[in-house]
Chains A and B, each alone.
Chain A
Amino acid sequence: MDDKYLVDIQHERLSFFTPAGEVKALSDVSIHLKEGEVLGIVGESGSGKSVTAYSLMGLTAYPGRIIGGTLQFNDHQIETMTEKEMRKIRGNEVSIIFQDPMTSLNPVYTVGNQIVEVIRLHTGKNKQEAKARAKELLELVGINEPEKRLKQYPHELSGGMRQRVMIAIALACEPKLLIADEPTTALDVTIQAQILELMMELKEKLGMAIIMITHDLGVVASICDNIAVMYAGKIVEYGTTDQIFYEPKHMYTKGLIRSIPHIDAKEHERLVPIEGSPVDLLNPPPGCPFAPRCEACMQICLREMPPITQFNGDHITQCWLHQKEEFEKGEYNE
């Protein structure tokens, strides 16, 4: 820990208190990233990747609540802040791009109106200055004829353009951190590549950190410094992109990587899925949540949650398999 982290989430626990009971969406999640770094969070639907990022912005949807842990961002202690204090940070120091650009812009206001709104909210700029800045932002995100676009409504733009507008809104106040919640999922493949390229280019220019939430391993492989793999509200593996792809430790990570289609696959070769379905977070099992789907499941996996095993550097995983290896090597002392 030589220099400070921009984001440092420690042991976050978050639950949704539904009429059916407490849904433990996050249990003991710790992530951190430095300024200018790109962290990928991967996992399947409901694994808690979006919930983690949203909680950092105070956007946890009712009836969700942070019930433990600390969330530090840019010298703010998020879990202790009031809604009013959070409002000053949102859209200003931390911004977010959502999955579906088709529905994320308000249909009844012009693009210009929606960009100017956030600029005027967080900076002291007057209408003219804000408008000039909005035009500049549209140019920055690669939209041609910005003057004309400002006066257009979202429905007059294509999906890719709308996502560029969302990026422009997110970057309006030059945030320290940009959260991208599956920003390319709803776009077609060629546009996906363009948007990712744009995000990387802007990151270089503006120097912000990015948390990239996705279930597309191809996306994280190309742009992330570090990757957190989430499963059932837990970080099951964390490491650099190389470590995750070349030395995956957790059986779930291995399964994910095996399920990526290969370009050199033989004809009629089937993809390898991960069998089974995710656990019910309303009644999580006492042991490792992945155990019921894990090929290497042992008896202890069903009974107890494994402790963290640390490998080179920051590479960590939570799996009994590695505890066993360590144990057999004689390096594990109770």
Chain B
Amino acid sequence: MTTNELLFLVFAFGLIAWFVGRARAASFISSETPIINSLPNYHGWFASLWAIIPAILFLIIWINISPALVTNMVLSNPDAASVTADPFTRSTILSEARAVANGSSQVLFQEGSEKLVPLYKAAQSYYNSIAFAATLLLIFAGSAYAYTRLKPDFRARSKVEKVVMFALLLASLIAVLTTVGIVASLVFEAYRFVTLVSPFEFLFGTNWNPRDNIVAGEDNGYGAIPLFWGTIFIGAIIAMIVAIPFGLMSAIFLTQYSTPRFRSIMKPVLEILAGVPTVVYGYFAALTVAPAVRDFAVMIGFSNAASDNAMAAGVVMGIMIIPLVASMADDSIAAVPGAMRDGSLAMGATKSETIKRVLLPAALPGVVGGILLAVSRAIGETMIVVMAAGYAANLTANPFASITTVTVQIVALLTGDQDFGSPHTLAAFALGLVLFVVTLLLNLVALRIVKKYREAYE
């Protein structure tokens, strides 16, 4: 029996256990005991979960260990003694024989694998029958145990509740565990990078010119400062010069000046803007804004302006971020108690004086938190800078020059051939780790500020 069939079996028995448990509970209800502790459905679920969960846990473990068990059994057979000891050839032979035994392949290439096929078949059927027996045993043991527990005063409801809680906990852990896994892989590869290239050179060097292989005498720079600078220049400086004033002003207009009707239209529109795929902003930056910026730069005397320039990418990124800043600022301004505003207006302050002197100072922490979140979003943004900012690692403050960012270089390093032994590929992971740490810190600080501020008024 394959694992799928076993799974089907488990769930079929689970269903049966549900009906049996439910019927059993229903039989408790009589004229003497008109009310039992839990509704019959809960008894059904209790029985069903006991039938399913142990068997499923067994199957999960089994899937992981059975291939090794099968291989061991095959190799312990005297017929397999002749298989070569070279690990690489050996594993090829074994996997070939396994594929043929499973029926997923017809052809044999390696010498010696042919005689392993019947061994594999025998071992697999042996272990399959063990799995089948064990599964059945667990199903019956589980459901029998559950069945004996069912009584009129049995609290099936709270037992099922515990399982529900556990299932929800598991679901919530998936995101966390994935993050941990990502971090682990980043750290692992970044460590390998650091063994090849000095971390000091990487973090503080100013020459970025990665090559596939380090060759003596050639220019092989892994100094990431130009990348960090480009990221900050585009994401945290140019983009924020655009996003902060426009985002703040639109938030002020929406919360303080617009009619409720206008606000009810504008807010969803802003949110739609936030949902535009970044690649679309990328087109806009590369095809419309960048040439215009270059023409403008040439006009005002920057004859060396590049067609892919920091300005275009930064401005478009800023536009992309406006809804984020606006919505965070909107939230924090709206969270300032109306009594503050009334108090100021009742003193004879105008609307704009009230906003400038009372609402914005009170909302400032929330606004700053929003801006930090926006920065962390901007420096992690990839598509716009790939399309509009270019690949040249220039360390320059000229906004009309071509500049590159961390994300662009990660894309460049991982496009094409990858060799996990060379610093060329591994550098992408080191860059990713730096980016991850920086955005994580920004997010932490931002969330802390926002949270602290919210507590102040509740």
Do A and B interact with each other, yes or no? Answer: no
